[in-house]
Structure 1
Amino acid sequence: MAVVNAVATAWNAALDARRPLAVARTIGATPGRATLGLVLAQLLPAFPTTVIGIPAGIGLYALLQVGPAAVVEPSTAQTVALVAATLLVLAALTAAPARIGARQPVHEALHSEQN
């Protein structure tokens, strides 16, 4: 469900950004730079969320864990790898629709009634 949510968010962000990216491309931005800008715009809120969410999640888990059936927590290396993988997947999911939108000719993106 999280992947579907990430795909939908990335696709909608790419659709919403078509005209501004087209304007940026008319003043010299390449399709790659436009895609990178949209990817970074999606990653900026994701990074602090992971930095705050991981300690909060570990703390909540430790608070609610009661009894002898304790589950082993993942190591720091595993947690860092999971965060890095999550951010990379989010970047990839954002880059695909952004790249499709950035390849659309500028005149079509600026001239269309609906994006």
Structure 2
Amino acid sequence: MQRLMIADSSDVVRKVGKRILSELGFLVAEAASAHEAVTRCQAELPAVLIVDATMDGALELIQQIRAMPDGKAVRIFYCVIEADLKTMMLGKRAGANDFLLKPFDRKILTSVFAGLAIAA
């Protein structure tokens, strides 16, 4: 089972995302802050990380993950509220691989992550 972490300050987003992604076959961990995410990643690095762009320290979180041993192997999705080029470029420069638009739902998460769960 592939490990995935959702780093988002919203309890609802984490809860919904965890339920859907667990059903797709991921072992899902949650982090309510960038600091909590870094601490959890230092203990056990996930294969996939979803980072909310509006969370305090989101860009620094991505940079810290990339600096960890094996951090370059983590697939990082930067979760944005709108397709704002400036925000997306900041995420890309920090080290994000891809983007997710919020709010996401079962259809979006299934289309993006079903292939990743199977690839594990």
TM more than 0.5: no
- Tell me the TM-score range normalised by the shorter chain: under 0.3
Larger gyration radius, structure 1 or structure 2:
1
Higher relative contact order (CA 8 A, sep 6+): 1
